[in-house]
Amino acid sequence: MATLVIGGGVVGLSIAYGLLKQGREVIVIDGSDTDARASRGNFGLVWIQGKGLEAPPYASWSRQSAGLWKQFSDELKESTNIDVAFSQIGGVEYFTEIGALEQEAADLSGLREKLGGDYPFEMLDHAQLKKLVPEIGLKVAGGIFSPMDGHVNPLLLLRALTEAVKRLGGRLQTGHSVTSIEGADHSYSALLADGTRIDGDALVLAAGLGSAEHGEDLGFKAPVRAQQGQVLITEKLPFFLKYPSGRIRQVNEGGVQIGASKAETDSEATDLSTLQELARYAVDVFPLLEHVQLVRSWAALRVMSPDGLPIYQRSAKYAGAHFVTCHSGITLAAAHAGLLPEWIDGRNTAPDLTFFSESRFDV
Ligand SMILES: Cc1cc2nc3c(=O)[nH]c(=O)nc-3n(C[C@H](O)[C@H](O)[C@H](O)COP(=O)(O)OP(=O)(O)OC[C@H]3O[C@@H](n4cnc5c(N)ncnc54)[C@H](O)[C@@H]3O)c2cc1C
């Protein structure tokens, strides 16, 4: 019998890939093109700095994943011949206000202390940063360099994962929304809109925002909400930007990606004032962008838990059902592929993910 993975975004596919590598039979069921799909509209960062300031286990988990990313991308290349354009030479956060820079450095120092000292970063003033990134403008007060950060082409990642899942014998049922799930211990049936029924002996609910609809039936709270992010991309430019940042990066094809805003809405429409704000910030940081053409803008929806941290939850109702969600599915893809399958299998060697259970939302 197979493990049913509901959701074929980067989270579902990473887990499916990992489970297949462990020798499990896997069926991924992915919904329709009208679904929100964060995996197709994100910023592509494998990002550590600033994550888990208030939750050190999240900082450690993200970092563990970043540490696995090189091997993960090499493996995908070997099995699919798709190079996901992963680079991890460090990243820079730019600050236009000195106070905000100093505050961030103090927060990161606090986190470093909580983590026992192993959390590399460097605060750079304008002159120091200019040596590293000569193109910065006069409005940049300084920045924080972190050697842990990197980026990837998220669409190539999705394609590589899809291909890798197929090559390992995984079944992909795409364009089919699950309308209901019948569950019992180690026995699951996903019912599709066209009446098809797909059976499995285990289930992973990884349907992004779609998880909210099915969580309760399986014994989960699945408290996810949408948070909109808008992104801009410029025409292709000669390469000048070696280090990605949380809001500006040059993609492997040459365009400069600028983003992403944050708004508590489930609208997938862009608006001019948000895009202007993004563009203004980018020009403040890199004045050379002032006269380049913007070729595309879009909005996509993040999948957010109430506290922004991932949720890894075993069902208390039925044995063999798991719920997984997170708001940094690119960063965590390597851990989801490499380490989550052990947790799903309940092995002794699995990471301890108790911190990320839904019990933290009990009132
Ligand atoms: C603007 C923006 C920027 C981001 N930047 C980054 C970044 O730089 N780095 C990073 O790590 N993360 C980033 N993220 C977050 C990252 O994109 C998400 O964490 C990740 O894509 C979530 O993947 P997912 O598979 O959970 O969800 P999704 O990609 O939304 O996929 C869910 C899938 O489930 C399917 N589905 C839903 N309901 C059903 C159903 N009933 N039956 C069958 N299938 C169903 C849908 O069709 C969909 O394909 C960003 C997100 C946004 C929006």
Residue pLDDT, tens place only, 173-187: 999 899 999 999 999
Q: Is the pLDDT of residue 196 over 90?
A: yes
Ligand 1 pocket: which residues have CB below 6 Å? 6-12, 29-31, 35-39, 41-45, 47, 177-178, 206-208, 210, 229, 231, 259-260, 300-303, 325-331
Ligand 1 center to 328 CA (angstroms): 9
Counting atoms of ligand 1 from 1, which one is nearest the CA of 228? 53
Please answer whether residues 209 and 292 qualify as being in contact, where contact means their C-beta atoms are separated by less than 8 angstroms.
no
Sorting pLDDT into bands at 50, 70 and 90, what band is 35? confident
Q: Name the percent of the chain lying above pLDDT 70.
A: 100
Q: What is the pLDDT of residue 36?
A: 87
Model confidence, pTM: 0.97
Ligand 1 center to 8 CA (angstroms): 9
Mean pLDDT, residues 266-274? 97
Mean pLDDT, residues 12-20? 98
Instruction: Give all domains of the chain, ordered by start, each with its CATH number.
Output: 3-70+154-224+307-361 (3.50.50.60), 91-147 (no CATH), 225-304 (3.30.9.10)
Query: Quick one: 295 exposed, middle or buried, by C-beta within 10 A (0-12, 13-18, 19+)?
Result: exposed
Counting atoms of ligand 1 from 1, which one is nearest the CA of 231? 1
Q: What is the pLDDT of residue 32?
A: 83
Counting atoms of ligand 1 from 1, which one is nearest the CA of 302? 53
Mean pLDDT, residues 340-353? 95
For residue 89, how many other CB atoms are within 10 A of its CB? 11
Ligand 1 center to 30 CA (angstroms): 12
Q: Rounded to an integer, what distance in angstroms lies between the CA atom of residue 17 and that of residue 333?
A: 10
| 65: helix, strand or coil | helix
Ligand 1 center to 106 CA (angstroms): 32
Ligand 1 center to 345 CA (angstroms): 24
Tens-place pLDDT, residues 82-130 = 999 999 999 999 999 999 999 999 999 999 999 999 999 999 999 999 9
Q: Is the pLDDT of residue 285 over 80?
A: yes
Query: Quick one: 35 exposed, middle or buried, by C-beta within 10 A (0-12, 13-18, 19+)?
Result: middle
Q: What is the pLDDT of residue 103?
A: 98
Q: What is the pLDDT of residue 260?
A: 84
Cross-strand partners of 301: 228
Higher pLDDT, 190 or 34: 190
Mean pLDDT, residues 223-244? 97
> How many Cα neighbours within 13 Å face the side chain of 324?
30
Sorting pLDDT into bands at 50, 70 and 90, what band is 33? confident
Tens-place pLDDT, residues 304-313 = 999 999 999 9
Q: Is the pLDDT of residue 363 over 80?
A: no
